[in-house]
């Protein structure tokens, strides 16, 4: 029962506070003559002598009733307000304590991940050329070994780079909160003497692109379909974790073969989270102020309007599937004896003609034709022009794991064109961009 209901069943009450004056009576007391009604009839002369006493008794009774009612109501109000105040204070104290503990925990985690520059310098033999592994988006990567014999990969970000500084902080923030077998693991970092270093677990088989596109490596030992299929499934699981299962919702924004590392058993590990974007758990998309990513892998709504969502990663994943199946980069796709077209156009035309096998790497055996053609189908669903027509990564994972699940018919993919790729597309197509 609320306060107003309590007052309604009482004869009269009054509550006075510094900011409020509340009064209730069963008679009109506010002096509005228009609402008072007609004046009482004149009192007969014979009863005039007893009127004062009656009025005194009525006023006394009314005053007594008011006091009797006001006291319990005021007591109840004070009790309710006190309880409410205590609850609010306790809740605020709990929240403040929780926030304090979280910040303290994060600070302790960061401190435990810090390495001295001297220690990393020793581990990499002063960043010698013998330990050089390659060039990343914002700096060189070196192999190293810690005193406990653990092998590490060290990304040395370019000095005095604003973008490198942003990437450095972003990657630490994200990877310290994530843990999944299909994501590369951050072991630590160093930020001193104008040096920004990120220390990762060393993944022995380097990146996926070195096996798919390197003419020397791929010609000597072509990656078998069983391995390619394991890589496709592992990348899908990693993206499902980023999009739906982790405590953060993350869009990678630069998913490509060069950012997928392979361990001893060729299990994929998604790497390079410097461009990743954090979303609120209920957020579906946002508009990027700066364009980052790699030509050929970026979704059309991102390229044209800067719209970022989990479906942006789905598009990149679709491109990856087609590259893994064909064994060729999207930027330099070419089939001998066929009209020159880009990968998406060629795949779509062959799909319509019922000749999708023409896109498949010729080193792959036809024994896996059903599974390979299904992957091409899933890849085409992922690269639809309209982001709403693309499946979620959890749906993709289900499609890959269940061969009995029927697939929707894809429509024309994004960036469909019959114009051939320019002569300099190979270098341009694999260039990471920062702003447009």
| Catalytically annotated residues | 254
CA 284 to chain centre: 8
Residue with tokens 């961009």: 433
Strand partners, 261: 207, 269
User: How far is it, in rounded angstroms, from Cα 255 to Cα 383?
Assistant: 14
Neighbour tally for 121: CB within 10 Å: 17
State the sign of the Cα–Cα–Cα–Cα dihedral 32, 36, 38, 44. Answer: negative
Q: How far is CA 354 from CA 320, 359, 381, 408, in A?
A: 22, 11, 16, 16
Q: Tell me if 202 sits within 8 A of 261, measured CB to CB.
A: no
User: How far is it, in rounded angstroms, from Cα 129 to Cα 138?
Assistant: 18
Q: DSSP of 60-81, one letter per residue? A: HHHHHHHHHHHHHHHHHHHHHH
User: How far is it, in rounded angstroms, from Cα 177 to Cα 338?
Assistant: 47
Q: DSSP of 34-47, one letter per residue? A: HHH-SPPPPPPGGG
- Residue 143 marked as a ligand binder: no
User: How far is it, in rounded angstroms, from Cα 433 to Cα 298?
Assistant: 10
- Binding-site residues sit at 155
- Binding-site residues for ATP sit at 155
């Amino acid at each position: 029962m609320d306060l107003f209901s309590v007052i309604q069943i009482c004869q009269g009450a009054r509550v006075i506070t510094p900011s409020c004056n509340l009064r209730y009576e069963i008679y009109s007391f506010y002096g509005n003559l228009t609402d008072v009604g007609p004046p009482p009839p004149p009192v007969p002369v014979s009863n005039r002598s007893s009127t004062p006493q009656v009025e005194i008794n009525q006023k006394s009774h009314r005053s007594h009733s008011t006091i009797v009612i006001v006291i319990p109501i005021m007591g109840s109000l004070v009790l309710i307000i006190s309880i409410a105040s205590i609850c609010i204070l306790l809740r605020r104290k709990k929240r403040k304590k929780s926030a304090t503990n979280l910040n303290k925990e994060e600070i302790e985690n960061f401190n435990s991940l810090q390495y001295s520059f001297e220690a990393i310098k020793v581990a990499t033999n002063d960043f010698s050329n013998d330990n050089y592994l390659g060039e990343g988006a914002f700096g060189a990567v070196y192999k190293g070994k810690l005193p406990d014999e653990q092998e590490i990969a060290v990304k040395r970000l370019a000095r005095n780079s604003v973008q490198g500084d942003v990437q450095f902080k972003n990657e630490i923030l994200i990877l310290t909160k994530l843990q999944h077998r299909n994501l590369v693991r951050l072991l630590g970092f160093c930020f001193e003497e104008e040096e920004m270093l990120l220390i990762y677990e060393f993944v022995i088989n380097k990146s996926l692109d070195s096996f798919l596109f390197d003419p020397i490596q791929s010609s000597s030992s072509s990656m078998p379909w069983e391995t390619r299929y394991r890589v496709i499934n592992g990348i899908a699981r990693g993206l499902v974790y980023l999009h739906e299962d982790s405590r953060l919702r993350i869009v990678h924004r630069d998913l490509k073969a060069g950012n997928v590392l392979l361990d001893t058993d060729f299990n994929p590990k998604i790497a390079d989270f410097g461009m990743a974007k954090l979303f609120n758990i209920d957020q579906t998309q946002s508009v990027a102020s700066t364009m980052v990513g790699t030509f050929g892998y970026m979704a059309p709504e991102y390229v044209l309007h800067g719209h970022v969502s989990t479906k942006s990663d789905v598009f990149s994943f679709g491109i990856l599937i087609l590259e893994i199946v064909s064994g060729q980069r999207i930027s330099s796709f070419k089939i001998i004896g066929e009209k020159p077209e880009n990968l998406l156009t060629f795949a779509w035309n062959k799909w319509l003609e019922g000749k999708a096998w023409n896109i498949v790497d010729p080193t792959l055996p036809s024994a896996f034709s059903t599974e390979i053609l299904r992957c091409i189908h899933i890849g085409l669903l992922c690269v639809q022009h309209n982001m709403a027509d693309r499946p979620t990564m959890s749906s993709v994972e289900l499609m890959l794991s269940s061969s009995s699940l029927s697939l929707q018919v894809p429509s024309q993919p994004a960036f469909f064109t019959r114009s051939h790729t320019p002569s300099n597309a190979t270098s341009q197509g694999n260039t990471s961009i920062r702003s447009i």
